[in-house]
Each structure stands twice: as C-alpha cells, then as structure tokens.
Amino acid sequence: MMHIDLTSKRARLALRFFTYGVMTLATAVLTVVAVFYAMGYRFNQNDLTFTQGGLIQFRSAPEGAQIVIDGQLQNYTTPGRANLGAGSHTIEMKLNGYRSWQKTVVLTPGQLLWLNYTRLLPNSITTANLLSIDSVVNALASPDHKWMLVQQKADQPLFKLIDMSDPKKPVATDLDIPESQLTKKDGTFGQFSIKEWDLNSRYILVDHANKDTHEILRLDRERAASAVNVSRLFGLNIAEAHFVGSNANLLYAKTDTVLRSLDIGSSSASAALVSGIQQFVVYGNDAVAFTATREANGGTQQVAGIYAQGKEVIARTFSSAVKIQITYSEYTHHSYLAIDAGDGVVKILRDPTSTTKDNTEVADINLGKPVSWMKFSGSGRMLAVGNGNAVSTYDLDLDKLSAWTVSGTAITQPLQWLDDYYLWTDAGGTFRMFEYDSANDREITSVTSGLAASLSADGAYLFSFEKSPSGAVELQASQLVLQ
C-alpha cells in the first residue's frame, strides 16, 4: 500500500486545496438551496420532485393574533409569515375578545401575498355619544382624520369644525364665513355644500349656489375670517374647482367650458388649458383626467384624456350620444384611467399618456348594468364600481376582479372607501364595512344615513352621526380596539 506523507509540503498543499474546494462546493450548494427556498421551492417526498410555492405575510390590527392555516394553528402570532404550497388556502386570524377573521386565498407559484390589512373587530362594539349638534345636513372628514367639517343648514352659512385629535373628547367650534364673502339675492342666501379638503387638512372648498350666481369659497379652519370667494377674486364663472396637490393656493377650475389653473396667492388665472371641458378629476400636482367635446368631421364627438406637464393627450374618442364618466389614479409608478361609456363596462387604461406599448387596457369590469359610480381607493390599488347592490372591484396589484352583491337593505348611494381595503355603506341606518372582495362583512352601529363617517387618526375609533330622540344629531364614536 502506498504511503502518503501528510507532513510534506506538497501533501499539505493538496489537502488545503481539497478542503477549500469542498467548502466552496458546499457554499455554492447551500446558496442554491437557500435561493430556491426563498423562492418557495420545496421537496415533495411523495413524488420526489421540487415544487414552487409562495410566501404569505400576515399583519393585523391589533397585532398579536393567532394564525390558523388550513385548520392548523401556527406557533407564532401576527405579524408573521408562512411559506406555503401553491393553491387554495384558508386563513384565519383570532384574538381574544375579537371576532375571528377568515379568508380563502389562492397562492400562485413564486407569489408574495400580503394579508396586511386585517381589521379585527371586538365581539361587542361600544358606541358612545360625544357631542350634540342641533342639526346636520352634510359633513366631511379631513384626510388626516383629525377634523370634521359639519354643515348645519343647507341654505345658511352655518358650519361647525370638530377637532377629533382626541377621539374621546372632540371639540366643536363655529366656523363663520364672513358675509362680505357671500352674495345674497333678495336678501337671502342660496344653497351651500361642502366639496373637499386640501391634502394638508387645513383648507376646505365650499359651493354656494344662489339663483343665477354660483360661488366657490375657500375656507381656512385656522383663520375663519380669511375665507376667500374664489369666483369673485378672479371674476370668473366657476362651475367646479379642485385643489392641486398640497398647495392650497392652487386650483384647477372649470370656467364655463374651459379648464384653467388658478393661483389664489398671486390672483392669477391661466389661459385655457383644455377647451370643451365636461368633467375633470385632479390627481397630485399636475395630472388632470377629463372628458370634453371636440368638433370633428362636421360633427361633435366626445373625448377622454389627460392634461399633464403642460399638454393634452386624448386617450379615447366616443360618439356625442354616449354618456361618459371617468376616474383616475396612480399606483406603483403607473397612471390609470378608468372610463365608463354607458354600456356597463368600465375599461381601465394603464399609462394613457404613454406612446409605448405600456399604454394598454389592463382590464374590463363588466357590471352587467349601467355604472352609477366608480372610485379608486386612496392608494390607487383598488377600483370599485357599482350600481345599487351590485359591486365589482379590481385589484391592480393582483390583477384580480371580484364581483359581488351586497346583501340585505337596498343600497341607493355609492359605497365609500373607509381605508385602502375596506368599503362601507350606511344603507338602512346601519354602518356596515366589508373588504374589497366582500369578505368579512361586519355591522358596526346604528347611524343616520347620508352623513359622513371616518376612522380616527389611529384607527381605534369609528366616528359617525346618529339622530337622537330629541331631534339633535349626535357625533358618536365606536370603539374598534379594546383598551
């Protein structure tokens, strides 16, 4: 037998190279295994093959919920994650004192699925009256959920501003509009309506229509006396106006049939940006989606397009006989224009201003009946469309369409987004919330239909209104998170 001298220099060098080679090979193998594991691949002992699954991330409000996957209780609580095989899985989250949350999901190979929007609601929800208001005809919560502007009379400039920073002790103060900023006809006011808050939750646009006069007012919740009659400031017949981005001095406005940009700070108005304007939607600092009329081939046609970066781009053209409605949003570096041409089918266009192949129809939502309303969620990920109790939603992230019917009371008003994943209705005098795909339908409290509702800034309370036996209207808070 040949003897190898392991003390020789050559033998030690060979052993070192061999060891390094084995270590390098082992590292490479382990790296490949780790990558395959991270991608969801698992070894199936039944057929001795590798199959790719997916990853689900769990989060709940409140956190600390138990997670049950396909009937098996997991050894961790939310937030957490699980690598699962591709296919259908039933997920349940449970927390002591709260109603269980359940959903069946379909996981595709290699998918990362976020179940990070779970709202666990108490088994018993306590609703408390916080303050009383003589009458309420309209109300609108601010984007930061810390303020509520309440309109007390339709034909009087009577508004109350409610500070909801402390959800247990809201404070109401009068927000008086200086009469010098309002036009009276025959000694009386017209009809008032709250339109929108600016993104910084300080300024509010209010309409005042008095016979042949229509006025847009900008209110300042911090300085009521500094209210501005925008229509009077510019000497324009403004039919509609919206804030531009986070600068409350800038507005896009429809003046007669022309879209203009207005700067309240400098009292300057742009020339016509879009002519023949019918309706428009403002998004962010620059984008305006619109419908307008155009003369073509000796007749009139309708167009849907985008005004952005100083230019107009027409996305689609329609007959003048078609009733068009649009909405617009942006999500994950793409823009989305949704168009309903009166046939019950909403088309979603991605990047409608692009001249590349990305300018495509992402999806058709066939409601099966005329579309009454359509709304993107705040994040832009979800589009909901509806008519009565028929609702369809489209998830741009998952490319998933959900069509469903809201059970129970007939719905006559559009559903509203409570957050980025939950819709709500107050039909029949009951506040109900459900996820974008109809899952986890929950009744919260009795309310007066047609008024505003809002989560508190921390999501622990739901604010709503309920008329008392005395006829006054109570601002109430429903506790969604146990103390």
pLDDT for position 286: 87
* β 54-61/112-119 pair status: parallel
We report the CATH number of the domain holding residue 91 as 2.60.40.10
41: pLDDT confidence band, cut at 50, 70 and 90? Answer: low
User: Which three-class secondary structure string do you get for the chain?
Assistant: CCCCCCCCHHHHHHHHHHHHHHHHHHHHHHHHHHHHHHCCEEEECCCCEEEECEEEEEEEECCCCEEEECCEEEEEECCEEEEECCEEEEEEEECCCECCEEEEEEECCCCEEEEEEEECCECCCCEEEEEEECCCCEEEECCCCCEEEEECCCCCCCEEEEECCCCCCCEEEECCCCHHHCCCECCECCEEEEEEECCCCCEEEEEEEECCEEEEEEEECCCHHHCEEHHHHHCCCEEEEEEECCEEEEEEEEECCEEEEEECCCCEECCCCEECEEEEEEECCCEEEEEEEEEECCEEEEEEEEEECCEEEEEEEEECCCCCEEEEEEECCEEEEEEECCCCEEEEEECCCCCCCCCEEEEEEECCCCCCEEEECCCCCEEEEEECCEEEEEECCCCEEEEEECCCCCCCCCCEECCCCEEEECHHHEEEEEECCCCCCEEEEECCCCCCCEECCCCCEEEEEEECCCCCEEEEEEECCCC
96, 94, 137: which is closest to 118 by C-alpha? 94
Alpha-carbon distances, residue 160 vs 205, 252, 283 (angstroms): 15, 27, 28
Residue 13 is predicted with a pLDDT of: 66
In a domain, 90, yes or no: yes
Q: For residue 100, is it within any domain?
A: yes
- Residue 1 pLDDT > 60: no
Distance CA 122, CA 62 (A): 10
Question: Among residues 380, 395, 291, which one has the least CA distance to residue 329?
Answer: 380
Nearest to 340 by CA among 328, 352, 325: 325
Q: Which two tokens stand for residue 167?
A: 């959800």
Domain containing residue 81: 49-119
Instruction: Record the tokens describing residue 60, joined without a space.
Output: 């709940």
d(CA 248, CA 406): 38
pLDDT band at 231 (very low <50, low <70, confident <90, very high): very high
Which own/partner contact pairs does 308-315 have at CB distance under 8 Å and 24+ positions apart?
A: 308/353, 312/273, 312/274, 313/352, 313/353, 315/339, 315/349, 315/352, 315/353
Residue 98: inside a domain, yes or no?
yes
Q: The whole model's pTM is what?
A: 0.88
Cis peptide upstream of residue 414 (ω within 30 degrees of 0): no
For the segment 147-195, what is each residue's pLDDT rounded down to a tens digit? 999 999 999 999 999 999 999 999 999 999 999 999 999 999 999 999 9
Find the range with the poorest average confidence among 2-16, 68-82, 132-146, 210-224: 2-16
- Write out the two tokens for 197: 């808050």
More confident position, 359 or 38:
359
Picking from 453, 459, 449, the residue whose alpha carbon sits closest to that of residue 476 is 453
* Average pLDDT value for the chain: 91
Residue 238, in any domain of the structure: no
Give the Cβ contact number of residue 298 at 10 Å.
5
Would you place residue 43 in the very low, low, confident or very high pLDDT band (cuts 50, 70, 90)?
A: very low
- Residue 86 resides in a domain: yes
The predicted pLDDT at position 17 comes to 63
Q: Are 333 and 373 in contact (CB under 8 A)?
A: no
In a domain, 57, yes or no: yes
Q: How many domains does the chain have?
A: 1
29-33, 76-80, 140-144, 241-245: the lowest-pLDDT one: 29-33
Q: If you average pLDDT over residues 403-423, what whole number do you get?
A: 96
pLDDT tens-place string over residues 359-404: 688 999 999 999 999 999 999 999 999 999 999 999 999 999 999 9
109-119 mean pLDDT? 95
The neighbouring-strand residues paired with 247 are 244
Q: Which of 480, 475, 482, 481 is nearest to 147 (CA)?
A: 475
Radius of gyration of the chain (CA): 29
Task: Give yes or no for residue 48 having a pLDDT over 50.
Answer: no
Specify the pLDDT at position 465: 98
Mean pLDDT over 291-295 rounds to 94
Domain contains 405: no
* 73 lies in some domain: yes
Burial 18-43 (b: 16+ CB within 10 A, else e): eeeeeeeeeeeeeeeeeeeeeebbee
pLDDT at position 10: 66
Q: How far apart are CA 455 and CA 226, in angstroms?
A: 29
Identify the pLDDT of residue 29: 54
Please state, in angstroms and rounded to a whole number, the distance separating the CA atoms of residues 107 and 53. 7
> What residues pair up with 431 in beta bridges, in sequence order?
445
Structure-token pair, residue 116: 């990070």
Residue 257 above 90 pLDDT? yes
pLDDT in tens, 310-352: 999 999 999 999 999 999 999 999 999 999 999 999 999 999 9
Distance, in Å, from the CA atom of 203 to the CA atom of 237, rounded to the nearest integer, reads: 21
| Per-residue model confidence (pLDDT) at position 46 | 53
- pLDDT of 297 reads 80
Does residue 49 have a pLDDT over 60?
A: no
Least trusted range by pLDDT, from 22-26, 70-74, 277-281, 396-400: 22-26
